[in-house]
Amino acid sequence: MYQKLTLKNGLPVILAPKKDSKAIALFLIYKVGSRHELRQNLYGISHFIEHLMFKGTQKRPSTLILSKELDSIGAEFNAFTAKDHTAYHMKVNVGDFEVACDILSDMLNNSKFDKEELEKEKGVILEEIKMYEDQPIQYAEILFEESIFKGLDLEHNIAGTRKTVKALTRQDIIGYLEKFYSPKNAALIVSGKVDKNTLKVLNKYFNQQGFGHKFQKRIEHKPISIKQKVAKAALNYKATNQAHIALGFPAYPYSSPKLPAFQILSIILGGNMSSRLFINVREREGLCYYIRSQADIYEDTGDLLIRSGLDNDKLEKGLALIAKELRDIKDSGVTAEELSKAKKFIKGRLTMQLEELNDLAEFYGREFILAKKLLTPEQKINEFLKVSLAQVNQVAKEVILRDKMNFVMVGPNKNKEKYLKLLNL
């Protein structure tokens, strides 16, 4: 069972103990990501700041000094930026917990953002942008979100563009930090060997203001309905050996009571190696190496996304088969056996995943920042176990709609109308 408390500076803290663990994990999550970059000239700044946090503080003035100290205790450490949050995490031997707290709090409160390092890191991010553009699997998903979230703050790429990244200044960085990097816009999760000394150490290192002096209140996004009225297609021509597709539909936000049924639908459709798409497109027909569906969920909306790399010579057959599977699951529904297997799959995966301290801390962090209620892993599993066949089938009918379809393809193809006709739902 977790314990929730708040430090004097307003930072929420969640303690998630695992008594037998000899390690401890820190997960500091801020409710700020690319969707909060409301001015185009700031696109990519959330991700840029995440990179710069590892570039040195007054106490640890370089990346080398900082990383050497972390490596000297065998720490696992990293960070990531999403569309609606940014997170920094560390895992260490329980005896090095105070060292980890010292370093993490130092990075988040005292980073220098040296102008020379800032310019060098722009080059790193520009290469990262190029890397994603050169990887059709990732690029198709980026283009898909540009399509399905057109006109919304979820539309633009997390990394920004070459133009916006080059133009970012130190003044932009500090201004953004002051607006969003407040303790009141964050949560700190500690999982693992939690004891009576844990809170004392947290108060010592995290009970300060740092940035965020101009923070007003945490942004809450209310559920929306995407007003798409016709199927959309976008083809990005690239001389690849496969056609990499991203196909999907708008779906539900974090607060929706239909979310567990929606996630189960995604598992049955293409979430594992016994799913319909995997068996019928890959195993029986040999049309692809990878194919999967995923339920992407945000605070105000979500989407059902199917991704695959299809044989160019059998592309039409592959798309027609995917469309058939979508029609079948929408019109005929799922079976009781499929529902039972999907529930067991989710329970098993979530149970195993949350044995890992970083994943457990991240679970609580996402729930606290993005969901309206904080559930334990056991409560979360019970939500899935209560889903009925009728609920899954109703979700399929609501989500899989021809006029809400978004189709993106990266590959040596140009005739989008042809492929839209093949995807007859």
Tokens of 103: 């370093």
Residue 373's pLDDT band (cuts 50, 70, 90): confident
Is 411's pLDDT higher than 80?
yes
How many CB atoms are closer than 10 A to CB 380? Answer: 17
pLDDT of residue 394: 98
Q: Report the pLDDT value the prediction gives residue 72, as an integer from 0 to 100.
A: 97
- pLDDT at 372 (0 to 100): 75
Give me the pLDDT at residue 425, please.
86
Q: Parallel, antiparallel, or unpaired for β 232-237 and 406-411?
A: parallel
pLDDT tens sequence across 158-195 = 999 999 999 999 999 999 999 999 999 999 999 999 99
DSSP per-residue codes, 37-77: --SGGGTTHHHHHHHHTTS-BSSS-SHHHHHHHHHHTT-EE
Rounded CA gap, 37 and 58, in Å?
A: 28
For residue 241, is pLDDT > 80?
yes
Structure tokens at 235: 């083809």
Average pLDDT of the chain to the nearest whole number: 96
What phi, psi does 243 have (nearest 5°)? Answer: -95, 115
Looking at 3.40.50.1860, 3.30.830.10, 3.40.50.620, 3.40.50.2300, the CATH number of the domain 232-422 comes to 3.30.830.10
Q: Which residues contact 226 (CB under 8 A, 6 or more apart)?
A: 148, 149, 152, 250, 301, 404
- For 260-305, write each residue's pLDDT tens digit: 999 999 999 999 999 999 999 999 999 999 999 999 999 999 999 9
CATH code for the structural domain at 3-206: 3.30.830.10
DSSP letter assigned to residue 223: P
Instruction: Answer whether residue 71 shows pLDDT above 80.
Output: yes
Q: Check pLDDT > 90 for residue 8.
A: yes
- 410: tokens are 């990266």
Q: Within 10 Å of residue 220's Cβ, how many Cβ atoms?
A: 9
Mean pLDDT score, 51-65: 96
d(CA 399, CA 305): 11
Structure confidence at residue 233 as a pLDDT band (50, 70, 90): very high
pTM (predicted TM-score) = 0.95
pLDDT > 90 fraction of the chain, expressed in percent and rounded: 96
According to DSSP, residue 402 is labeled G
Q: Tokens 């409160």 map to which residue?
A: 109
Residue 113 one-letter amino acid:
F
Question: What does the alpha-carbon distance between residue 232 and residue 249 come to, in Å, rounded to a whole number?
Answer: 10
In 3D space, the residue among 397, 273, 282, 403 whose CA is nearest the CA of residue 334 turns out to be 397
Residue 351 has a CB neighbour count (10 Å cut-off) of 12
Contact in structure between 82 and 137 (CB atoms under 8 Å):
no
Q: What is the mean pLDDT of residues 136-159?
A: 97
> Would you put residue 218 in left (φ > 0), alpha (ψ -120 to 50) or beta?
beta
pLDDT of 292: 98
Q: Which of 143, 211, 146, 208 is nearest to 176 (CA)?
A: 211
Share of the chain above pLDDT 70, in %: 100
Q: How far is CA 254 from the centre of its chain?
A: 13
CA 353, distance to chain mean position in Å, is: 16
Residue 410: is its pLDDT beyond 80?
A: yes
Range list for CATH 3.30.830.10 in the chain: 3-206, 232-422
Instruction: Check if the beta carbon of residue 79 is closer than 8 Å to that of residue 53.
Output: yes
Average pLDDT over residues 391-406: 98
Q: Which of 285, 301, 287, 289 is nearest to 248 (CA)?
A: 301
